[in-house]
Structure 1
Amino acid sequence: MLGPVENRSVSPVFVGRAGELAALTEALSRAAAGEPQALLIGGEAGVGKTRLIEEFTGTARDRGAVVAVGGCVELGADGLPFAPFSAALRTLRRLLPDELTAAADGHHGELARLLPELGAPGGHDPADEDSTARLFELTVRLLERLAADRTVVLVLEDLHWADTSTRHLLTYLLRTLRRGRLVVVASYRADDIHRRHPLRPLLAELDRLRTLRRIELPRFTRTEVHRQLTGILAAEPDPGLVAEVFERSDGNAFFVEELVVCHESGCAPGRLGDSLRDLLLVRVEALPENAQRVVGIVAEGGSTVEYGLLAAVARLAEDDLIEALRAAVGANILLAAPDDDGYRFRHSLVREAVSDDLLPGERSRLNRRYAEALEADPTLVRADERATRLATYWYHAHDPAKALPAVLRASVATRERHAYAEQLRLLERAMELWDEAPAEVRVSLRPIDYAESYPPCGCDPDTPLRHLDLLAEAAVAARLSGARERALKIGKRALRILAAEEEHDPLRAAWFWTEKARLQSNLGRGDGREEIARAQELVKGLPPSAVHAVVLVGAAGWGMLRDPGPDALTAAERAVEYARLVKAESIELNARLTLGTIMVAAGDVDAGLAEMHAVRERTRALGQFTETARAHINISSALEFLGRSTEAVEVAEAGIRLARRYGLVDSVGWAEANRAESLFSLGRWDEVREAAERLLRSATSTKPRGSASLRLAQLAAARGEPEAAARHLADARAVYGTRDPIPQYTLPMAQVAVAVAAAEGRIGDVRTELAAAERGGFPPGTHRYGWPLVLTAVTAEADSRGLPAADEGRAEALALVRRCLRSLAAPVPVWAAHSLYVSGELARAEGRESTDRWAEVVAAHEPLDRPAQLARARHRLADALLTEGGRREEAAALLREARATADLLGARPLREDVDLLAARARLSLAPEETHPAPAGPGDDAFGLTPREQDVLRLVAAGHTNRRIAEELFISPKTASVHVSHILAKLGVAGRGEAAALAHRLRLVDAPR
């Protein structure tokens, strides 16, 4: 019964697409060799994407590959979270049960959010912002392990219907997939991707991935349509039919099939109306009445409708239902769904046409019957789809009393799967239904059932659910899904409602103000100080509560980053106390970690580190791995603060391993940023570049990417690449903005800006940057960032001593340096060494340096693991020794050590300074040169004649050629010739560079 119609409508011969199929099979071969592949297939509806994929998957199976296909599900505006991944993983579990269990590696609870067959999902923490990233990482790791020893083909169809969570997971998969014999093929309907379609930005992002190949399917040519017709008819088609079908179908393969069916059934194509819908409905209207009725029911039920559910809705006798289905399948309108006891349309275009042909009242009635059938027997659909589908059916049945609770239950189900974007959409639908639902329905709802954020937002679980509870839950969902702008908008709306209500609700308002502070800081809209203060004022005098503890944690965290002084310490201590009183251990551990960090900054080092280590171990024992990773991040930062950079690297690397194991992508970024900072201190600069570039590629949060740009800027400045340093600095400033001046970002950025200005001879800009930093202040605990800034600025002052342009305003500049010093503490050896170094440069800038002072600086740095700074200090000591005279061998040894370090680091400015000093003193830096020849009176390693030395002295004083001529009683032309010779011998481009070099190398007498 099925055969004749099928043979006439679908060509058994695969037509065209030879190049596209070759690209897919080539990817299969590459994957089999261990190189994972990703391909994206686009084309208009009916152009042949599914047929191409079927041919490819058939070839893959013939070659021994395991094929798993999952399609995105269209359910109105809702979508099923992760539907294609769940379907594909379900297939992999059926085909490779033991292998998938082993590949899950003990993470069955997390992966059950995608594949419920693995067991009950793990617990959910609304404060865990890494939950979605962790699920994504575990999914990718699962696929990589499954594809380690066999070729796996993962096909994801119909991305134009993909939910937000599916799009995010696919993006993560394609960005991070690095190993395994895996081929990922995704398809989408190109003609549906309008300007505002959510898939459009994803396609633009994927196009930038070098690992992805995009295939666009064109329509068939006339020759290909001729071959398709030959295959369908099993005979040579009439030329007139070929011409007419090609003209009417415009080369669309599916339309060719439909037109052939019309022709074979006696409906001449020329008699059809111009409407595409009419063409697609021709075969449906030719079906028996019961079959048409069943087809309409299936069209409204979703992408696939299970047989039991269909039977309950159709209300036909079983024999009549089977006969109707046989007719629809025989007409090639419906297909039995693979691996399912259900039915779907062979092509979605027909489903859309049938659905659109239903009357509005008819659609509402069918959705109600679907909902009633599912409520009567929930086992009719899979458990992971039940809540969302029931919510969709009731919503489209236009029954707010039934739809509101169903939508809220679906929001809980999506939250448990970490599908926060879908949760947000459902909550917004619930807010839309709120006023329409009867009052007795609303008062029957309880926050404890639907709003998991209720403990921190202050809801009473014994009172009815309120609209504000939905706003709180929606704000959290928006934040966790990355929609921070939407979260901020929801929070502002809630605060307006609270302000307008007669009944004062301080706990709820305080929670929303704390959320607003966090979001504004994340978005660079402000520092959140005013919002935190409002929240603290609201909870003042109230009994201890979880909200009170959250507010205090927010205040302590604000102070930890911006002003880690007594107020921050007090807030952290009180947050710990309040969290313990209300037995909120997760809030307590968060507060204790903040407290330990502030204690270290305040100088209580041992106790602070002990507190942080205790939090790390407790959170690990509780399985709160996000907080464990944060402990690694804070401990590594504290160790770097103390100058214990080697330990800091070890702790950061342990944190990276832990974060990767549990899929904490944001935590990986923060730990990697800390590691790069400590590597820079240790002089492992090549590793810094690798880490920073990796961080720029992989970090999901903006601030770790800003840290990577900042690190690259520092590295470029240290290696004598001011243009690159300025470029990276601009990138960092774009990330951190200007509305939230956090010292750990602003002070290092100022240090780079000072270094770039000094390298380019802009001493005025050096002073401007330092003055701006001094106005911002150096709060307690920020000396870690303040000392390098002040050292860079005062070194620039010392290097420019004697230059007329720099001498003007020098007294004010050095007074500014001294004001900065009064604000900077030096509690541990590394900062004490910085203090000595700054004092040495300050003395050099004032012309009162001494060998003893620089010897003290070198001695202070030798026990520290700071090779770059030690090498620069040795260079300064060598310079002082040579100036005083008589200690040339000692100076040569110091310069050799400094030169070796400069070579190792790639520090070009330091290497040039060492070489120039050695050249001036006629010192050889070769290891075998143990007795350097003394320089005679008036000797000059650059070969300057006495007259040229006189001219250089006047150039350094800022004189013009005419003024030089007057001073030396020579003609201006002769002065010009002398200046040209001097520039060539010194290897500089202009008079300013010559003057700076002369002062730096003491080729002229500097003013005292």
Structure 2
Amino acid sequence: MQQYGLSHDETALVGRDRELARLRSLEEKSRAGSLQVALLAGEPGIGKTRLLREIARCARQQGTTVLEGGASDAEGMPPYLPFLEALGQHIRSASTDELRAQAGAMVSVLATILPELSLRLGESVSSYPLPPEQARLRLFEAVGIFLSAIATPRPLLLILDDLHWSDRASLDLLCHVAQHQTNTRLLIVGAYRDGELMQRAAFERALTELARLRLLTPITLAPLTATAVAELASGYLGATVDSAVSRLLVAQSEGNPFLVEELLRGWLESGAIAQEQDGGAFCLVAPHSPLLPPSISNAVRQRLARLAPATVELLRCASIIGRTFDVALLARVTGQDEESAEECLHEAVQARLIHQLPPTAATAPSNFAFSHDTIRQCLYQEVRAVRRLRLHTRIGQELELRLARAHASTSAQQLAELAFHFARSGEVERGATYSQSAAQQALQTYAPAEAMAHQQTALQLLSTDDPRRGPWLLELGAAALLASAWQEAIDAFQCAQEWGRRHGEQHLTGCAALGLGRAYWRQERIAPARLALEQAVAELSAQTTAETVEALVELGSLLILSLHQQEEALTCLERALDLARQLGERRLEAAAGRALGNLLIRSNQIQRGLPLLEQALSLALSLGEALEVSECCACLTMAYGWHGALDRRAQLFPLWLEYARRCHDPYQLRHLYTHLASSYALRSQWAEADEALDRSQSVVEQLASPEPAALLQWTRGLLLAPRGHLSEAEDLIKTALVWYRQHAAQSLAWWLGGLGFVQAIQGKQQEARTCLAELETLVASLPAESMPLAHALCFMAATSAVLADQTWATRLYPRLLPFRGQFHSFLVDRLLGELALLTGETAAAETHLARAEAAARRLSLSFELAMTLGAQSFLVLVRDGPQAIAQARPRLEEAVALSISTGTPTLAQLLQQQWQEWVHPHERAAGRPDRSTRLAYQPLPAGLSAREGQVLRLVAQGKSNRQIAEILVISERTVANHLRNIFNKTGVDNRAAAAVFAIRHGLLD
């Protein structure tokens, strides 16, 4: 009988010329020393793996080193599996001299996930323990350096298949390598099913991050065209197909290459198609269509039906082992000798259901793999549940024997395999033990999500009274916190707490309460968080331990940050610092010192608090405690900002960002980019501010806590307001306030002022005054001279200044005075100057505004400088009378020009409105006049026409061409023509200069 059907790898690659060309172009870029990342997307069977093998073949021909790995959907797989497979190939094939040079000083770190590295080098390596965030960072750095070293003598192609099944740790590692090894001769090509994104949030985030870094080249594989299907069929059959076969093939396969070959194989074996005489084309044997399988699974089942029962049975057992299996293990599990098993598998190889892996140094000659995972899944589902249990038991036992004979330490992959099989076997105790060991191994490589999965399996296998249950529940809760799975953490800690109480384990009960409080706090559930932390302190005070200090630090921080209860917080934190010093725990001393320093700062005891915070930061840096450094930087940036030392604050952001990233915990970044955006905005660096806000958005989307998202919305709204987007700004702030009212009412005083300020700028006087009245009620409960009070008072003062409300100015000035020299979203000295101006205290106003101007110029605060210059121009009018307009106007001109040049048209318009009110105080009492039409009846300088005068005034107010066109009901082209005439007549060449001209000639008076 004539044999047809080349294997998928033997057929020529068809219909993918464009995609292959893009990959080759990326390979050339990578060979030149620029890391590239390409990800192939498409449905199952579309040819992703085939294209990966083709680019690998081409790369090898160019002398490139090729390493291949892939993820698996089998439960219990170890973290970093794609990298383990790829790097494992290199470790087994490279010489020991090469490995020693490439691994360098990072051997001990790499060995945490690649134990075969130390075995190949014949070295016993050890590494001192590190905090989880440090361990993960060092591991990521080590893998990146290792890959870079491998790519030094020859370019490197790293292939990562089935990435949609990747664990979060692998995806984080991929992003880290891509970001930090940009000058490496490395091309990373991965493949994933594009229909899996909705179910794989971690993978979707990785795609977003790679795209944001501008490192990703996405390549989507579309179905083959009719021409390509016919070409594929001809290559597979060795002859062409007639038009009827081609049309049927296209209709049934829908351009899916895997289905094309499956259909052709089925038709050949059933006799539905045959070749014409003399080597002609293949055509349908019968006039009707052959019976065609409706799906890939059905196609696989039809192929299996044509094999000998013994072969199918052997394949079913192999499917229990995994997609890749070796004959030796399969033979022992099924009770056959290797030769017989391999002979039986030969039929499956001929049927293209499995293929033998190349006998390289990386794989044994008897290793096989299923051609497609769908084949393995179909076979696995056919095995009865009872028999699966027996086979998993037998496989696990054989894997144990192998390890015993090898006398080697158990790798993460081996532990995961043992856990996977025993958890599904009748060996419950072994399943639990191996699952817990796999969880601990995953945590050691900072893969908390994978650790959670193993721990949950282990706990399911334990009896309720097993003495290990309580400690294992604590470990599950801790892993869930690291994975930002806070509800899962709450569930685990509650179970641990109940278990501890039932078994009289006071310390374990206290630790569970501590974890519970942390989880609740991260969800912004303040009341249950406080209760849990108070329980933790009570339970852990029986014997002083590190956990006692941690509980006191957490409780004290909660009391001051979320509840503003200074005295209770001070008692907790002073005790925590004292106990930390008694224990001699420098890490705890740093944490307690940071928390106490933060409390003192928030109590306006800046001179006492700053040294404590700086000492805590220095200590944390010396200990290499990334998490504590991040926390210290967060506190210090706020402290120096309030202190008015914004230059020192700006210096801290890079350090904060570096160590927050090292933690590999999105929670540590929850506020960072939002605060960074505000810092940029103070200097009118709007592009950088918007980019930081976008980065913040990508962070908060990963968090279960809604509080960072509310802060981001509030900040985004506040930063939109001065740029002319007042309605959108108000809507964003209102949306954020809805959450604060419902879930964090105790912090509402901190945020409500932003709404009143934006409403005042819009001229919504009644709404703004309503906010002021509510704020007055809210601040009554805040501690005197505290930073939350200062923040609220500053927004109240800013709102009152915009409203020109003398009553509120009189009320607020003495309350804000203790915070002079500070900064709370605004320069306090500038606000004090404006309040003093409204109350007629011109000497005090002059002093405050001079200090504000000096600070604004020194720190390059464009918004504050413009507002201060405007206030100084008004001061001249109040002090010297209307005859001083000429002396006052230059300050106003500078303020308006600065506002327009720095992209804050709303500020320019506000200053001009305020100028009108101070020049015409009788109009201030009657409300702000609309003077846009009055210019038409005034004699205008430089020969400007009435319409040009209207356009010029609107330009000076910061309006865009589009806005001017809408106001005057003319086209934007007409506005542009008017501007050209204005520039020619006035002798200016830009909008800011035109605005200054308008002010100088009294067009806004």
Both proteins in one fold, TM over 0.5: yes
Task: Determine the structure 2 residue equivalent to 1:396.
Answer: 424
Residues of 1 paired with 2:37 and 2:627: CA distance?
31
8 Å Cα contact 1:134/1:663 also seen in 2: no
Once the 2 structures are TM-superposed, how far is the Cα of residue 551 of structure 1 from its aligned partner? 1.7
Partner amino acid for 1:70?
A: G
* Amino acid aligned to 2:429: A
What residue in structure 1 maps to residue 357 of structure 2? Answer: 337
Query: Please, what TM-score do these two structures have when normalized by structure 1?
Result: 0.75
Partner secondary structure for residue 743 of structure 2: coil
What is the correspondence of 1:505-544 to structure 2 with a 5 Å cutoff?
A: 505-526=505-526, 528=528, 530-532=530-532, 534-535=534-535, 538-539=538-539, 542-544=542-544
Deviation of 1:841 after TM superposition, in Å, equals 3.5
2:414 corresponds in structure 1 to 386
Amino acid at match of 1:383: S
For residue 435 of structure 1, the aligned residue among 460, 463, 487 is 463
Which secondary structure does the structure 1 equivalent of 2:819 belong to? Answer: coil
Partners of 2:874 and 2:888 within 8 A in 1: yes
Aligned to 2:548: 548
Instruction: Select the residue among 151, 156, 161 that pairs with 1:157.
Output: 161
How far apart in 2 are the matches of 1:241 and 1:835?
82
- CA shift at 1:475, angstroms? 1.6
Change (3 A) 1:368 1:957: closer
* CA shift for structure 1 position 742: 6.9
Q: For the structure 1 residues 849 and 222, does the alpha-carbon distance in structure 2 shift closer, same or farther, using more than 3 Å as the test?
A: closer
Identity %: 23
Assess, with a 3 A threshold, how the Cα gap between structure 1 residues 916 and 108 changes in structure 2: closer, same or farther. farther
> In 2 relative to 1, CA 761–55 (structure 1 residues): closer, same or farther, beyond 3 Å?
same
**Residue 442 of structure 2 corresponds to which residue in structure 1?**
414
Distance 1:171 1:737 in 2: 38
Larger displacement relative to structure 2 (230-239 or 474-483): 230-239
Deviation at 1:533, TM superposition (A): 5.7
Query: Quick one: structure 1 residues 708 and 33, their matched pair in 2 at CA, closer, same or farther if it must change by over 3 Å?
Result: farther
Of 46-55 and 88-97, deviating more is 88-97
**Residues 823 and 879 (structure 1), Cα distance of their counterparts in 2 relative to 1, 3 Å cut:** closer
Following superposition, the deviation at residue 388 of structure 1 comes to 0.9
Q: What's the counterpart of residue 850 of structure 1?
A: 842
Matches within 5 A, 1:678-697: 678=679, 688-689=689-690, 691-696=692-697
The code of the aligned residue for 2:55 comes to F
Residue 880, structure 1, aligned to residue 900, structure 2: no
Worse-superposed segment, 538-547 or 406-415? 538-547
In structure 2, distance between residues paired with 1:657 and 1:605: 26
Asked if the contact 1:524/1:738 (under 8 Å) is kept, the reply is: no
Separation in 2 of the partners of 1:306 and 1:162?
Answer: 23
Contact 2:396 2:418 in 1 (8 A): yes
| d(CA) in 1 for partners of 2:669, 2:929 | 58
Contact 1:875/1:914 (8 A) holds in 2:
yes
Q: Alpha carbons of 1:403 and 1:726: their partners in 2 closer, same or farther (altered >3 Å)?
A: same
Q: Deviations over 1:698-739 (max 9, x none)?
A: 676676666565554444334554235335535755886742
Q: Give the distance between the partners of 2:687 and 2:268, measured in 1 at CA.
A: 72
Deviation for aligned residue 1:571: 0.9
Give the letter for the 1:340 counterpart. Answer: T
* Distance in structure 2 (CA, Å) of the matches to 1:82 and 1:140: 13
Q: Which residue is 1:320 aligned to?
A: 340
Contact 1:129 1:480 in 2 (8 A): no
The answer to whether structure 1 residue 350 and structure 2 residue 350 are counterparts is no
Which digits, 9 at most, give the CA deviation of each residue in 1:33-74, with x for residues without a partner?
A: 677554443444434332222223323344454433211124
CA distance in 1, matches of 2:533, 2:646: 36
**Which of 74, 79, 86 pairs up with 1:88?**
86
Aligned residue identity for 1:862:
A
2:479 alignment partner, one of 477, 482, 505: 477
Change (3 A) 1:280 1:895: closer
Q: CA deviation at 1:90?
A: 3.5
The number of residues matched between the two structures is 903
In the TM superposition, residue 759 of structure 1 has moved relative to its aligned partner by 0.6
Q: CA deviation at 1:877?
A: 3.5
Structure 1: how far apart are the matches of 2:134 and 2:314? 45
Q: 2:316 aligns with which of 296, 318, 325?
A: 296
> Structure 2 regions of 5+ residues with no counterpart?
119-124, 274-289, 931-946, 960-966, 968-998
**1:826 counterpart (807, 810, 819):** 819
Asked whether the 8 Å contact 2:821–2:828 carries over to 1, the reply is no
Give the aligned residue type for 2:325. V
Greater mean alpha carbon deviation, residues 77-86 or residues 262-271: 262-271
Write out aligned runs for 1:648-687 (5 A): 648-659=649-660, 667=668, 673-678=674-679
Alignment-derived partner of residue 571 in structure 1 = 572
The match for 1:363 is 388
Alignment of 1:886-925 (within 5 A): 891=888, 894-895=891-892, 898=895, 902=899, 905-908=902-905, 911-912=908-909
The Cα offsets for residues 292-314 of structure 1, whole Å up to 9 and x where unpaired, read as 55433322111222455345434
Counterpart among 763, 767, 781 of residue 765 in structure 1: 767
Q: Measure, in 2, the Cα distance between the counterparts of 1:247 and 1:986.
A: 67
Please give the per-residue CA displacement for 1:840-893, whole angstroms capped at 9, x wherever unaligned. Answer: 4444444x3425542454246536745454553443333233344376786466
2:235 alignment partner in structure 1: 231
Tell whether the 8 Å contact from 2:673 to 2:695 is kept in structure 1 after alignment. Answer: no
Determine the structure 1 residue equivalent to 2:468.
Answer: 465
In structure 1, what is the Cα distance between the partners aligned to 2:907 and 2:249? 77
Letter in 1 for 2:468: L
Q: How does 1:586-665 map to 2 (within 5 A)?
A: 586-602=587-603, 605=606, 608-659=609-660
> Aligned residue for 2:991?
none
2: CA distance between counterparts of 1:358 and 1:985?
82
Match of 1:945 in 2: none
**What is the rounded CA distance, in whole Å, between the counterparts of 1:354 and 1:984 in structure 2?**
77
Q: Is residue 305 from structure 1 mapped to residue 297 from structure 2 by the alignment?
A: no
Amino acid at match of 1:879: F
What SS does the corresponding residue of 1:79 show, helix, strand or coil?
coil
- Unpaired runs of at least 5, structure 1: 443-463, 922-939, 941-948, 962-979, 994-999, 1004-1008
Instruction: State the partner residue of 1:862.
Output: 854
For 2:613 and 2:628, how far apart are their aligned partners in 1? 11
Read off the aligned partner of 2:775 and give its amino acid letter: A
Is contact 2:553-2:592 (8 Å) kept? yes
Distance 1:177 1:737, change over 3 A: farther
Deviation at 1:366, TM superposition (A): 2.0
Q: 1:62 to 1:148 in 2, by over 3 A?
A: same
Q: Report the Cα distance in structure 1 between the residues aligned to 2:909 and 2:46, rounded to whole angstroms.
A: 65
Deviations 1:794-844 (A, max 9, x none): 35435545xxxx7xxx75x457636xx548743866699966655544444
| Range with bigger deviation, 253-262 or 426-435 | 253-262
- Structure 1 residues 131 and 561: alpha-carbon distance in aligned structure 2, compared to 1, 3 A threshold: farther
Give 2:793's aligned amino acid. V
Counterpart AA for 2:378: A
CA distances 1:417-458 after superposition (whole Å, capped 9, x unpaired): 22211211222222222239xx7xx4xxxxxxxxxxxxxxxx
Counterpart CA distance in 2 for 1:841 and 1:537 is 48
Structure 1: which amino acid aligns with 2:321?
A: G
**In the TM superposition, what is the alpha-carbon distance from 1:354 to its structure 2 partner?**
2.8
- Counterpart CA distance in 2 for 1:524 and 1:170 is 32
- Aligned AA (2:336): L
Equivalent-residue separation in structure 1 for 2:651 and 2:641 (angstroms)? 11
**Cα deviation, residue 259, structure 1:** 5.2
Separation (CA, whole Å) in 2 of partners of 1:107 and 1:564: 48
Q: Is the CA contact 1:411–1:426 (under 8 Å) kept in the aligned structure 2?
A: yes
Which string of whole-angstrom CA distances, capped at 9 and with x for unpartnered residues, describes residues 920-954 of structure 1?
99xxxxxxxxxxxxxxxxxx9xxxxxxxx9xx958
Deviation sequence 1:757-800 (CA, Å, 0-9, x none): 11111223323323333433374597556446434433543554
